[in-house]
């Protein structure tokens, strides 16, 4: 975390950080001195640049560990794990991915996986129309329909 501004005022008066940044006021060892730290806001599920994805995959194929990849690429370990799992699921080589432009690579990695329904859930969804039809009958209740 690199500070963009420092001051000794505990409330940070005189500094107006941009709205998209997070502001932390940190007490320094109880000495009455304060440090204002402004960092970029990190949000989950935001896209990362494809150059960083390429770097993560390059390091992974070179045999570098996930912890070291996250440190070198400047991404969280969960992000590194997610892209590595997607890379394995895609089943293409790094050379094939390197030939793609950023737009195509983004489409490949940002594609949503189709939701897989297990049999019990599918049976439940199939049962809903029957229940709805039964409840429309006069005097019907959930108890009488389930019998």
Residues 66, 88 within the same domain: yes
Q: How many domains does the chain have?
A: 3
pLDDT by residue (tens digit) across 89-144?
A: 888 999 998 998 988 888 888 766 556 678 888 888 888 888 888 888 888 887 77
Residues 106, 123 within the same domain: no
Query: How far is Cα of residue 125 from the mean position of the Cα atoms in its chain?
Result: 29
Residues 31, 58 within the same domain: no
pLDDT by residue (tens digit) across 52-91?
A: 999 999 999 999 999 999 999 988 999 999 999 989 988 8
Residues 128, 104 within the same domain: no
DSSP tag of 44: T
**Residue 4 binned pLDDT confidence (cut-offs 50, 70, 90):** very low
The reported pLDDT for the residue numbered 13 is 46
Range of the domain at 126: 116-147
d(C-alpha 48, C-alpha 80), whole Å: 11
């Amino acid at each position: 975390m690199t500070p963009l501004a420092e001051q000794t005022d505990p409330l940070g008066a005189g500094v107006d950080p941009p709205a998209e940044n997070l502001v932390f006021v940190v007490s320094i060892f109880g000495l009455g001195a304060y440090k204002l730290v402004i960092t970029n806001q990190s949000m989950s599920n935001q896209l990362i640049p494809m150059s960083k994805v390429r770097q993560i995959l390059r390091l992974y194929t070179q045999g570098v560990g996930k912890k070291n990849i996250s440190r070198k690429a400047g991404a969280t370990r969960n992000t590194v794990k997610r892209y590595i799992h997607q890379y394995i699921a895609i089943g293409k080589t790094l050379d094939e991915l390197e030939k793609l432009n950023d737009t195509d690579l983004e489409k490949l990695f940002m594609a949503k996986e189709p939701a897989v329904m297990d049999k019990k859930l599918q049976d439940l969804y199939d049962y809903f129309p029957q229940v709805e039809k039964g409840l429309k009958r006069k005097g019907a209740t959930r108890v009488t329909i389930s019998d």
